[in-house]
């Protein structure tokens, strides 16, 4: 039995999928990350600056996430 992925919407109403780039709040600032896993109530995000999966962030407040396009930012 395969379970369907839940549909999560960001603050502007865009659909969040696995491997999407998102901006999420952490430590009183915005962080850039990639969605790794979607659950019914939470989203697991990997910090874009870290390649190791040890640095996963579980975002409980999905309404605070914003989906961004890959062309919208430049990593220095």
Q: What is the pLDDT of residue 3?
A: 67
Q: What is the pLDDT of residue 76?
A: 53
**Whether the predicted pLDDT of 54 surpasses 70:** no
Dihedral sign (CA 38, 42, 48, 49): negative
Q: What is the pLDDT of residue 26?
A: 81
Could you give the CA distance from residue 48 to residue 55 in angstroms, rounded to a whole number?
10
39 forms bridges with which residues in the sheet?
A: none
Residue 7, φ and ψ in degrees, nearest 5: -95, 120
Confidence of residue 52 (pLDDT cuts 50, 70, 90): low
71 forms bridges with which residues in the sheet?
A: none
Domains of the chain, start order? 8-67 (2.30.30.1060)
**Whether the predicted pLDDT of 51 surpasses 70:** no
């Amino acid at each position: 039995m395969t379970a369907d992925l839940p549909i999560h919407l960001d603050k502007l109403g865009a659909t969040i999928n696995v491997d999407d780039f998102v901006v999420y709040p952490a430590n009183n600032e915005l962080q850039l990350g990639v969605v790794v896993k979607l659950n019914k109530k939470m989203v697991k995000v990997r910090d874009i600056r870290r390649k190791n999966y040890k640095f996963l962030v579980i975002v409980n407040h999905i309404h605070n996430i914003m989906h961004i396009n890959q062309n919208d930012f430049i990593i220095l």
